Amino acid sequence: MTETTDRPARGYLPAEGRGRGWSRPAQLVIGLAAAVLLSGTGLFLAAVFLHVAPANSLSRKYRDEVDGVVYPEFEQNWKLFAPNPLQQNISVDARVRTAAADGADARTRDWVGLTAQDLAAVRGNPAPSHADQNLLRRAWDFYDGSHDPQDEKPLGSRGRLAEQYLMRIALQRIGRAVDGERVVEIEFRVTSTTVPPPSWSGEAAPPAPKVRELPWWPVEDEDYRGLG
């Protein structure tokens, strides 16, 4: 009668006892990826630090680069514990001019309610996205703070960036063409309506809504770069 045992055969090492390790190429790839992530994180933190730090030679020298990293997604706003409630409802609309391939005169299209689209996405949604709530509103705040409302001219180096940001948000929604005709120009209309006071306050009724129309801006292929 042959006796059997549970001992492993000679020279066999159970799987749990074997050492596992990454190959040299895998270690190199992981090391490079970690270095890139750490470097990117360090540069981002440095840009945010220069943005919030008092003005110095570095922040002045690299102002455009720092603003490009921070604005508009990572702006540092210190109103967390002392918020300033919105006192106006801002409604942003856009319309475009399109040109047919046969060279016919450009046609002006109807207004598209960009803010109305965001409100429709937020209402009834238990978890509305940050983009639907704030993207367009902050884009307009960015533009409004960097332009003269009298002639719509930029007040500083960030003016052109604010125009591109606002325009690209609208173009992403409207697309490159309308009814088969290419979009060649875009215009914005912004309506500001003061929030009425409660009836018991005794305050005067708010003024009539103010409408502000921006000039027509040409639309180039470059304006669609990176848009889905």
Does 191 lie in the same domain as 102?
A: yes
Contact 69, 44 (CB under 8 A): yes
Looking at per-residue confidence, does 105 or 165 come out higher?
165
User: Looking at 4-8, 28-32, 64-68, 125-129, which range is the least confident one?
Assistant: 4-8
Helix segments in the chain, DSSP class H? 24-52, 57-61, 63-70, 114-122, 130, 136-144, 159-174
In a domain, 169, yes or no: yes
Using pLDDT thresholds of 50, 70 and 90, give the confidence band for residue 2.
Answer: low
Residues with Cβ within 8 Å of residue 77, at least 6 apart in sequence:
none
Tally the domains of the chain: 2
- For residues 26 and 119, membership in a common domain is answered with no
pLDDT at 58: 85
Same domain, 99 and 126: yes
CA-to-CA separations, 136 to 92, 93, 113, in angstroms, rounded:
8, 11, 11
Who contacts 140 (Cβ-Cβ below 8 Å, separation ≥6)? 90, 92, 166, 190
Q: Identify whether residues 112 and 140 lie together within a single domain.
A: yes
pLDDT band with cut points at 50, 70 and 90 for residue 144: very high
| The pair of three-digit structure tokens given for residue 176, joined into one six-digit string | 């490159």
Instruction: Concatenate the DSSP letters of all residues of 9-29 into one string.
Output: PTT---GGGS-----HHHHHH
Domain presence at residue 219: yes
Residue 159 lies in a domain: yes
Residue at 77 is within a domain: no
Regarding whether 61 and 104 lie in a shared domain, the answer is no
Question: Are 132 and 215 members of one domain?
Answer: yes
Same domain, 100 and 153: yes
Same domain, 101 and 65: no
Rounded distance, CA 100 to CA 109, Å? 13
212 and 159 in a common domain: yes
Considering the domain boundaries, does residue 135 fall inside one?
A: yes
Does residue 80 form part of some domain?
no
75, part of any domain: no
Q: Are residues 39 and 135 in the same domain?
A: no
- % residues pLDDT > 70 (the chain): 86
Distance between CA atoms of residues 86 and 93, nearest Å: 19
User: Of residues 35 and 3, which shows the higher confidence score?
Assistant: 35
pLDDT at residue 166, rounded to an integer:
97
**The pLDDT of residue 5 is above 70:** no
* Structural domain contains residue 149: yes
Q: pTM value?
A: 0.64
pLDDT of res. 14: 53
Task: Give the model confidence (pLDDT) of 193-204 as tens digits.
Answer: 998 888 888 888
Same domain, 214 and 154: yes
pLDDT at 16: 55
pLDDT > 90: what percent of the chain? 56
> Is residue 65 domain-shared with residue 125, that is, in the same domain?
no
Q: Which of 35, 45, 41 is nearest to 66 (CA)?
A: 45
Give the tens place of pLDDT for each residue, 53-70: 888 888 888 888 888 888
Q: Residue 109 is part of which domain span?
A: 88-224
Residue 118's CB is within 10 A of a number of other CB atoms, namely 21
**Which pLDDT value is given to residue 57?**
87
Tokens of 125: 């949604």
Q: Is the pLDDT of residue 124 over 60?
A: yes
Q: Which carries the bigger pLDDT value, residue 171 or residue 52?
A: 171
Q: What are phi and psi of 133, to 5 degrees?
A: -80, -35
